[in-house]
Amino acid sequence: MSDEKIKIKFPDGDIVEYPKGITALEIVEGISKKLAKKTIAAKLNDKVIDLFRPIEEDGSIVFLTFDDNEGKQVFWHSASHILAQAVKRLYPQAKLAIGPAIENGFYYDFDDLNISEQDLEKIENEMKKIIKENQKFTRKVISKEQALDLFKNEPYKLELINDLDDKVISIYSNGDFVDLCRGPHVVSTGVIKAVKLTKLAGAYWRGDSNNKMLTRIYGIAFPSEEQLKQYLHFIEEAQKRDHRKLGKQLRLFSLHEEGPGFPFWLPRGMVIFNTLIDFWREEHRKAGYVEIKTPIMLNKALWVRSGHWDNYRENMYLTKVDNEEFAIKPMNCPGGMLVYKEEVHSYKELPLRVGEIGLVHRHELSGVLSGLFRVRAFHQDDAHIFMRPDQIKDEILGVLQLADKFYSIFGLDYHLELSTRPEKSIGTDEQWEQATTALEQALKATGRDYKVNEGDGAFYGPKIDIHIKDAIGRTWQCGTIQLDMSLPERFDLTYMGEDGENKHRPVMIHRVIYGSLERFIGILIEHFAGKFPLWLAPEQVRVIPVSNNFNDYAEEVYKKLFDLGFRVEKDFRDETVSKKIRDAQLMKVNYIIVVGEKEKSTNTVNVRDGRENKVLGQLNLDDFIASMKKEIEEKRL
């Protein structure tokens, strides 16, 4: 370390002088040994660096732990190196490809590695040995020529090196293992306390099907065994709730190779679909929205005007009609612009809230299709709000309040994120400042915390994203509120102001609450684990007679419930009562009614909660009906 000094600024604003060449680890250890134990990497002037890397310049520093996404990425990338080292120890002939951190864990790709799922335990045990050895990670910069010589027996590394324009290349070592890597990494292998290899898969080199298929090993790692245990429990719970599995079991929807990415809705699924739409329509009616429906296919001229033809065409389905090019709509907005332009609007009419549950199509790659979560055709609960600039704050607040009402009904917690002006954008500084300030004021008025994503807005305006949290803690981005300064310009939208001039430009909001109805239903299936609340359930009641002698009374109960509008089924099969009850439970029926001699003579029903397998006992039929009506009316969870 030299006598020269550098100035380091901390998140609280304090600036401290340190000797030039000090490491981030030495800095954090000087602050708190406890914090140092948790710290994985550092962020110096917005660049993530190793804790052991000498700091040669002034800058602002942030210490990253496993709680930070960037900290997790460093942690998991380090674990991928341990995986590669373990594989090379056990299978020296294996060739190294790449090993990045991903959203949940890490993977490493290998060639010349012929293994099965049964071999993962052996590799995992070797990783644990390496972790126990507590090998230090070190970074070294070498020339391209040195790198080519060092990795002369690793063809995939050689290809990567030859593709680099850099004259110098960084490598990382731990123990006897060396890898081509930009880093950063944790201080030592011992920082990683718990590891689990999760699956084996095939993957083409560089994602190109023309290249060789490699062996990919996936894994996850944590700073403690307890965190790993919690994660594995979470995965087990998530698998039980998988909407694809439950969708098939509960006969809600199906997917067929004849239409990849195009869901088939079955009768029980249509009940949920239509109930959600009915709820959406009623709540939007109360909130002052009108509903429209625009065509599913419109000509090229419209998509050129909206900007989609130049910027989104590869995701659109195109066709020709009468020798004119058309596109199936990937978004509802352009059609909504045409509806607005049909007549002259006065400032007194605004805000104009226009909703549309529009079927849109987007050409997603087959590899990313996933149940209802990623499809090629889906219904967006779009709405476009046209307003004066002075109405932005109140309209944004109105949308946030409506979204809160929706998510609360389903028992979904959520957090808010504000994304501000990106480097490339349209509109004046004044427009962006006015729009962003209005969004911030609306967010503050909700009383909820929110996160700011600087520079992450759309090119046409700032936005608010709503991330919901389900029953097992997963987050999903569903609702979004986007201010748009582009389409009103492109379509020359105007309104007549107080001055009598029809030249004033409205501000426009795009917003969704469900987002994609298909995806939202997928989320709800997993959130409720298929056990829907009574108001949403595809089958609310099933009536079962104890024997054929009581079919008449069972039919009478069934008909009364059916005539009152309940979603009720009857089971008169020649099966045991216990089997019928079990079948109803497997279908997550809310209430199972069993009737026999006692119930017939007293005009009662014996009720069981099918979701919780809880016997509620003998109830007066009218009282039971009244309690169900109240449960539906209150939309109880």
pLDDT tens profile 278-291:
999 999 999 999 99
Domain final residue pick, 464, 494, 527: 527
The answer on 140 and 43 residing in a single domain is no
The rounded distance, in Å, linking the Cα atoms of 23 and 29 is 10
> Each residue of 286-304: b (16+ CB within 10 Å) or e?
eeebeebebeeebebebbe
Q: Same domain, yes or no, for 500 and 469?
A: yes
Q: Does residue 155 have a cis peptide bond before it, meaning omega lies within 30 degrees of 0?
A: no
200 is a domain residue: yes
Q: Nearest 5 degrees, angle CA 246-CA 248-CA 253?
A: 105
Percent of the chain with pLDDT over 70: 100
**In a shared domain, residues 517 and 444:** yes
Question: Is residue 263 assigned to a domain?
Answer: yes
In terms of domains, do 352 and 484 share one?
yes
Based on the domain organization, do 469 and 455 belong to the same domain? yes
In a domain, residue 319? The reply is no
- Active site (annotated) includes residue 73: no
Residue 590 identity: N
Residue 178, helix vs strand vs coil: strand
E strand or H helix at 51: none
Q: What is the mean pLDDT of residues 71-98?
A: 98
User: How many other CB atoms are there within 10 angstroms of residue 313's CB atom?
Assistant: 15
Q: In sequence order, what are the beta bridge partners of 507?
A: 387
**Active site (annotated) includes residue 361:** no
Going edge to edge, which strands form the sheet with 177-180? 137-143, 168-174, 177-180
Closest Cα to residue 470, out of 231, 230, 234?
Answer: 234
Q: Report the alpha-carbon distance of residue 381 to residue 266 in Å, rounded.
A: 21
**Catalytic residue selected from 77, 185, 284, 362:** 362
- Taking 80 as the threshold, does the pLDDT of residue 244 lie above it? yes
415 among known catalytic residues: no
Q: What is the Cα–Cα distance from 166 to 141, expressed in whole angstroms?
A: 11
Kindly name the residue from 85, 135, 380, 391 that is annotated as catalytic.
380
Task: Note whether residue 513 is domain-resident.
Answer: yes
- Considering the chain, what is the average pLDDT of its residues? 94
Q: What is the pLDDT of residue 35?
A: 93
Q: Give yes or no: residues 231 and 265 share one domain.
A: no
26: CATH: 3.10.20.30
- For the question of residue 382 being annotated catalytic, the response is yes
Going by pLDDT thresholds of 50, 70 and 90, the confidence category of residue 431 is confident
Residue with tokens 């600039």: 389
Is 588 contained in some domain?
Answer: yes
Q: Which residues pair with 221 in a beta bridge?
A: 195
Q: Please tell me which residue in 329, 333, 421, 519 is annotated as part of the active site.
A: 333
Closest CA to 510 of 321, 412, 381: 381
The per-residue DSSP string of 77-115 comes to: HHHHHHHHHHHHHH-TT-EE----EETTEEEEEEES---
Residue 424: closest CA among 473, 380, 460: 460
- Among 527, 551, 574, residue at a domain's last position: 527
Range of the domain at 584: 541-633
Helix (H, G, I), strand (E, B) or coil at 622: helix
**pLDDT > 60? residue 397:** yes
| Catalytic site residue from 81, 196, 510, 527 | 510
Q: Is the pLDDT of residue 405 over 90?
A: yes
Question: Tokens at residue 577, please?
Answer: 């009562």
Say if 316 falls within a structural domain: no
Q: Which CATH number characterizes residue 586's domain? A: 3.40.50.800
**Of the listed 243, 384, 421, 527, which one is catalytic?**
384
pLDDT at residue 137 above 90?
yes
Confidence of residue 574 (pLDDT cuts 50, 70, 90): very high
The residue ranking higher by pLDDT, 311 or 73, is 73
Chain segment 582-614, per-residue pLDDT in tens:
999 999 999 999 999 999 999 999 999 999 999
Q: Which of 496, 527, 558 is the last residue of a domain?
A: 527
% residues pLDDT > 90 (the chain): 87
pLDDT in tens, 247-264: 999 999 999 999 999 999
Residue 384: the pLDDT is 96
Question: Are 334 and 303 in contact, with CB atoms under 8 Å apart?
Answer: yes
- Sequence-distant (6+) residues with CB within 8 A of 191 are 40, 75, 78, 223
pLDDT digits over 113-123, tens only? 999 999 999 99
43 and 89 share one domain:
no
With respect to residue 597, please indicate whether it lies within any of the assigned structural domains. Answer: yes
Average pLDDT estimate for 9-16: 93
Is residue 298 classed as helix, strand or coil in its secondary structure?
Answer: strand
Under the banding of pLDDT at 50, 70 and 90, the label for residue 1 is low
> Which pTM value belongs to this model?
0.81
Supply the pLDDT for residue 496: 96
Which of 50, 179, 381, 382 is flagged as catalytic? 382
Q: For position 564, what pLDDT does the model report?
A: 98
pLDDT tens, position by position, 150-159: 999 999 999 9
| 380 catalytically annotated | yes
Same domain membership, residue 81 and residue 61: no
Radius of gyration over every alpha carbon of the chain, rounded to an integer in angstroms: 30
CB 442 within 8 A of CB 466: no
Paired with 180 in beta bridges are: 171
Tell me: the pLDDT tens digits for 326-382?
999 999 999 999 999 999 999 999 999 999 999 999 999 888 899 999 999 999 999
362 is catalytic: yes
Per-residue confidence at 2, pLDDT binned at 50, 70, 90? low
Residue 549 is given by DSSP the state G
pLDDT of 621 higher than 80: yes
Residue 466 included in any domain: yes
Identify whether the C-beta of residue 179 lies closer than 8 Å to the C-beta of residue 185.
no
Cis peptide before 389 (omega within 30 of 0): no
Comparison of pLDDT for 307 and 3, the residue scoring more: 307
Q: Are residues 574 and 512 in the same domain?
A: no
Given 216, 241, 284, 463, which residue is catalytic?
A: 463
How many CA atoms, within 13 angstroms, populate the side-chain half-sphere of residue 628? 25
Same domain, 571 and 585: yes
